[in-house]
Structure 1
Amino acid sequence: MAKTKQIEVQGSVINLSIAKDSDYICITDMANAKDGSGRAADIIKNWIRTRTTLEFLGTWEQLYNPDFKVVEFDHFKMEAGLPSFVLSPSKWVETTNAKGIYTKKGKYGGTYAHKDIAFEFGSAISPVFKLFLIKEFQRLKDDENERLNLEWNLQRTLSKINYKIHTDAIKENIVPNLISKSQINFVYANEADLLNVALFGITAKQWKVENPSSKGNMRDEASIEQLVVLSNMESINALLIEQGLTQKDRLVQLNKVAIMQMKSLLENESFKKLDN
C-alpha cells in the first residue's frame, strides 16, 4: 500500500506516493512550484503532447508495463506535433492503459508520475529544479533505508532474544522430574545407576537403548550443569550411605537435590556465561 510523503524543493512542497515497488512524484506540485498555481494542468498537457515526451512515455511503458496498448500509442505518436492534437494525462492512461502516470483526486490530489517520468518532466520545466528535486528525493530514500536497517537490526535482536528464550526452554527440560513410585521401589545394581536415575531419570542401559547411534554414554552427552550436579550428588550419596539410609530413601533425597541444584544453576548468570 502506497504512503503519501512530502519533500521540500526550493521552498515548495512536493507530494510523493511511496510504494514497495514504485515511487511516484506529483508533477502538478512540480509545475506549480515552477510557474505558480493555476497553470499546472496546462503545463502538463503541453508537455505530454510533444513527440519527444510521447516517445519517452511509450518506451517506458513498453519496458515496464506488459499491458500497455502499443497500437493506441502509435496512433498518438502519429498525431504528435499537429496543431489540433490535444492530450491530457487521463486520456493517455485511459487509451493506452499506461501505468507510469495517474491522476489522483482529493487530499494530496494531482497528476502523479513514476520517478523516472517525473525527473524527465523536471528537465522540461527547469533543469535546476530537477537537480534539487533529485537531491531531496534521494535524501528521503536514504532516510528510509536507514530506518529499514534499524528495523532489520531490531528484528535481528528480537530473533536472538527469541532464540535465547527457546534454548532456555530446552534447558528447562533437563531439570530432572520427580521419580516415579516404581523407580523408587526398584533395586539398582550399582550406585552409579542410582545417581543416573535421580538426575537423568533413566539407567545407563536404558539410555543406550534409546540412543543407539551415540558413540559415548549418557554422561559424555551431559550438559556442564548436569555434570556439576552429578559430582555434588556423588558426595551427598556417600554421606547418605554413612547415615544408613536405604537405597529407596537415598534415591528420593538425591532426586530432590538434583532438581533443586539444576534449577539454581540454570538461573545463575555467572554460570550461564560458561555455556556461551
Structure 2
Amino acid sequence: MSTNKEYKATINANGSEISIVSKGNEDDYISLTDIAKYKSDEPNDVIRNWLRNRDTIEFLGLWEKINNPDFKPVEFDGFKNEAGKNSFVLSPQKWISKTDAIGIISKSGRYGGTFAHKDIAFEFASWISPEFKLYIIKDYQRLKSDENSNLSLEWNVNRVLSKLNYRVHTDAIKENLISTKLTNKEIGITYANEADVLNMALFGMTAKEWRNKNSNLKGNIRDYATIEQLIVMVNLENMNANFIEQGLDQKQRLVELNKIARGQLKSLLNNKSVKKLENLNKNK
C-alpha cells in the first residue's frame, strides 16, 4: 500500500455492510472479516479455513510475487507444501509475519479485522458465495463512481476559480497599468505583456516563444500545461494582481512569481490528489 493518508468507506452488499480502507487510488483494501460474516458468526474461523486451502495459498503467493518485491518465496513454499493437510492451520497474522505479505493486512481497534487488497477480497468472496461476490462488486463500483464524480466536481471548481482569478488579474491591470491615454493597440500589448509575465514565471518562455517552438501545435502554451502548472497558474494570477496593486515593477514581480511557481510546483509534483485529477481529465 502507498503511504498517503487513508480514509474509510463502507459498501452495502445486499444488506451486508462491508468496510473498505482506501487511499484514494486503486489499492483499496476490503474487510474479509465483514465478508466472512455473511457465512458465519465466527468470521475469523471462516478466514482461517479459507487459508488452509492449497488453491488459496497458490493464489495469494502469485499475487504477492506480482505485486510485492519483498515477498519471501521460501516461506511461501513451506506453506504451499503443507496446505490441504488436516494438520495445517494458518492465520492471517502468521501469513503476514512469515512471508512479509502485503496483500492481506490485520488491523486492530474498534474498526479492526482482517482486510485484503480488492483482488484478494473478491477471490475470497467467490469462495464464500459467487452471488454475494456480485453484490460486493456492484456496490464497490458504485463507490468508485461516486469518488470519480467528486473528483470531477473538484476539477470543475478549479476551472471556475481559474476563470475568476483571470478576471481579478485583468481588473488589476486595468485599474493600475492602463492609462486613459493608451490606444486600443497599446492596451492589448499591456495585457499580453502581463500574461507573459506569468508565462515566464511558470513556463520560462513567452507565448510567442512557445508558438515559434511549437508551430505544428494548435492552441497556446497554457493549453498544453500539466494539471500542476494549471493549479499554480491560478495562484500566480492572484499573486500578480496583488503585486500590481502594491506598485511593484514588472521585473520585481517576475522574480517573486518565479520563486512562488517553483515552490508550489515542487509541492504539487507528487501530490496524489493532483494525480487523480490528472488521470480523470485524461479519461474524459
TM-score by structure 1 length?
0.63
Q: Identity of aligned pairs, percent?
A: 54
**CA distances 1:170-200 after superposition (whole Å, capped 9, x unpaired):** 3333234xxxxxxxxxxxxxxxxxxxxx836
Where does residue 23 of structure 2 map in the other structure?
A: 19
For 1:28 and 1:164, the matched residues in 2 are separated by 54
For 1:166 and 1:224, the matched residues in 2 are separated by 14
Alignment of 1:5-44 (within 5 A): 5-21=9-25, 22-35=27-40, 37=41, 39-44=42-47
Higher relative contact order (CA 8 A, sep 6+): 2
For 1:29 and 1:172, the matched residues in 2 are separated by 62
For 2:77 and 2:189, the matched residues in 1 are separated by 78
Equivalent position to 1:199, from 158, 178, 181: 181
1:225, distance to aligned residue in structure 2 (A): 12
Aligned length: 185
1:151, distance to aligned residue in structure 2 (A): 1.1
For 2:150 and 2:103, the matched residues in 1 are separated by 27
Deviates more, 1:128-137 or 1:2-11: 2-11
Alignment of 1:195-274 (within 5 A): 199=181, 219=183, 221-223=185-187
For 1:106 and 1:220, the matched residues in 2 are separated by 69
Tell me the amino acid that sits aligned with residue 126 of structure 2.
S
Say which SS state the counterpart of residue 169 (structure 2) adopts: helix
1:224, distance to aligned residue in structure 2 (A): 6.7
Q: Give the direction of change, closer, same or farther, for the CA distance of 1:224–1:10 in structure 2 (3 Å limit).
A: closer
RMSD: 2.0
For 2:51 and 2:117, the matched residues in 1 are separated by 14
For 1:100 and 1:48, the matched residues in 2 are separated by 13
TM-score by structure 2 length?
0.61
Where does residue 252 of structure 2 map in the other structure?
A: none
Q: Can you give the 5+ residue segments of structure 1 that lack an aligned partner in the other structure?
A: 177-197, 201-218, 227-276
Where does residue 58 of structure 1 map in the other structure?
A: 61
Where does residue 146 of structure 2 map in the other structure?
A: 143
Where does residue 152 of structure 1 map in the other structure?
A: 155
Q: Can you give the 5+ residue segments of structure 2 that lack an aligned partner in the other structure?
A: 191-284
**CA distances 1:17-74 after superposition (whole Å, capped 9, x unpaired):** 1113310110101111222x2x211110010121101111111111111111111111
Tell me the amino acid that sits aligned with residue 71 of structure 2.
F
